[in-house]
């Protein structure tokens, strides 16, 4: 039986795990690999929906934790759901809210039933269970909902990771039982920290639950890039080949390239807009901090290889001036460029897979980033 979200692989790289696919959702077809801009509170910071459409975004994220606390998922539902509420007609994925809750540290307490915590807005007592997460995501009406899971901070012990892994699997079964919305797909999430055997086991057991897609969680939380890549290789070797794989919270350009090489189809991260608000931009040679004095008279674009609106119309000197003057446009332009950069990068990776040139593009990008005049992408 076909569900509301289906996936098919249309091409694969013969050497690596890279693949191009099509993710069919109630709000359109999404070509993968794909980067998904993050709209935490019903908006991708500094960007209007039509701008995201024009730069080629076909799916974005919303965050149930934030939208539940403010303005309330029931209110969003009464106004027609999150698509209508935010004026977005394309694909929409909501995460479970668990990462935000677990980021609260000492302000939350985990039990088998769920997580008790204090609101970051007013300090009020709150509680979220797997069933609550399903209800909230159903009220928001996203195309793809995520299971409620437990993410552990690194470094951690095998024992602590094992506890979280087992709880994540038990919560996944509760999410499956609670999820009712027929026009919304529910993805499971693989945990296991940086322990290969735990990752492999979790992927096997989560795969047996037969979700229509799978998130890979608990990475980009303090481990090295090499550890991340090793966990991807272990996990994706086990997850079902015919279902989409979503690496959660990862958005550095080099991580996207290497994630795709290891079989990842979907990515999301707040870095493009967060860094943009702080004047840091992506380029094919690494990152630039446009607040630096050396760009005072720089007439060149942010990235000469980029075709975004910002690079076609504005100089580094102009953007630096906007930051120095405290103008809101500075954050908008840098966020615009960064989002476009990652969306374009995943389209280029997809094109190379289809054309059989993925390895060539991967090497070219790696060589550019390692030239002697490159600025390391070390944030």
The residues annotated as belonging to the active site are: 95, 268
Burial of 343 (0-12, 13-18, 19+ CB in 10 A): buried
Which residue carries 């007609």 as its tokens?
89
> Of 365, 265, 245, whose CA–CA distance to 305 is shortest?
365
DSSP string computed for 285-314: TEEEETTSGGGTT--S-S-TT--SHHHHH-
d(CA 350, CA 364): 15
| H/E run at residue 333 | helix 328-355
Q: Are strands 144-146 and 214-216 parallel, antiparallel or unpaired?
A: unpaired
Which residue carries 């070797």 as its tokens?
237
d(CA 277, CA 365): 25
Tokens describing residue 61: 């994220």
Phi, psi (degrees; rounded to nearest 5) at 47: -120, 140
Tokens describing residue 177: 């039982």
Per-residue b/e over 66-87, b at no fewer than 16 CB within 10 Å? bbbbeeebeebbeeebbbebbe
Neighbours of 138 (CB within 10 A): 22
Q: Are strands 125-128 and 115-118 parallel, antiparallel or unpaired?
A: antiparallel
Beta strands in the chain (DSSP E): 6-12, 19-25, 28-32, 34-39, 59-62, 91-94, 108-110, 115-118, 125-128, 144-146, 185-190, 214-216, 245-247, 266-269, 280-283, 286-289
């Amino acid at each position: 039986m076909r569900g509301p979200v289906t996936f098919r692989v249309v091409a694969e790289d013969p050497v690596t795990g890279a693949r191009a696919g099509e993710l069919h959702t109630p709000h359109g077809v999404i070509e993968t690999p794909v980067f998904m801009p993050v709209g935490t509170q019903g908006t991708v910071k500094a960007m209007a929906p039509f701008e995201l459409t024009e730069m080629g975004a076909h799916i974005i994220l919303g965050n149930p934790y934030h939208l539940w606390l403010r303005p309330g998922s029931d209110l969003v539902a009464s106004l027609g759901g999150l698509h209508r509420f935010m004026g977005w007609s394309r694909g929409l994925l909501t995460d479970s809210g668990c990462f935000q809750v677990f980021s609260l540290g000492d302000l939350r307490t985990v039990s088998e039933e769920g997580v008790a915590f204090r609101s970051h807005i007013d300090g009020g007592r709150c509680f979220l269970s797997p069933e609550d997460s399903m209800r909230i995501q159903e009220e928001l009406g996203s195309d793809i909902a995520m299971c409620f899971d437990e993410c552990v901070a690194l470094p951690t012990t095998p024992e602590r990771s094992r506890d979280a892994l087992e709880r994540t699997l038990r919560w996944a079964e509760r999410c499956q039982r609670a999820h009712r919305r027929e026009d919304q797909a529910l993805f499971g999430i693989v945990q296991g920290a940086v322990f290969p055997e735990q990752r492999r086991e979790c992927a096997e057991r989560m795969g047996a639950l037969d979700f229509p897609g799978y998130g890979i969680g608990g990475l980009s939380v303090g481990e090295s890039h090499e550890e991340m890549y090793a966990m991807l290789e272990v996990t994706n070797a086990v997850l079902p080949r015919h279902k989409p794989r979503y690496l959660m919270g990862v958005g550095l350009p080099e991580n996207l390239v290497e994630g795709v090489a290891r079989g990842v189809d979907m990515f999301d991260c707040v870095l493009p807009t967060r860094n943009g608000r702080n004047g840091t931009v992506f380029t094919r040679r690494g990152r630039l901090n446009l607040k630096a004095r050396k760009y005072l008279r720089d007439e060149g674009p942010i990235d000469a290889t980029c075709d975004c609106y910002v690079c076609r119309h504005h100089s580094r000197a102009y953007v630096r001036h906007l930051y120095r003057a405290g103008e809101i446009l500075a954050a908008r332009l840098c966020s615009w460029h960064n989002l476009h950069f990652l969306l374009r990068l995943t389209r280029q990776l997809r094109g190379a897979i289809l054309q059989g040139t993925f390895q060539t593009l991967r090497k070219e990008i790696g060589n550019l980033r390692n030239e002697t005049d490159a600025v390391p992408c070390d944030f």
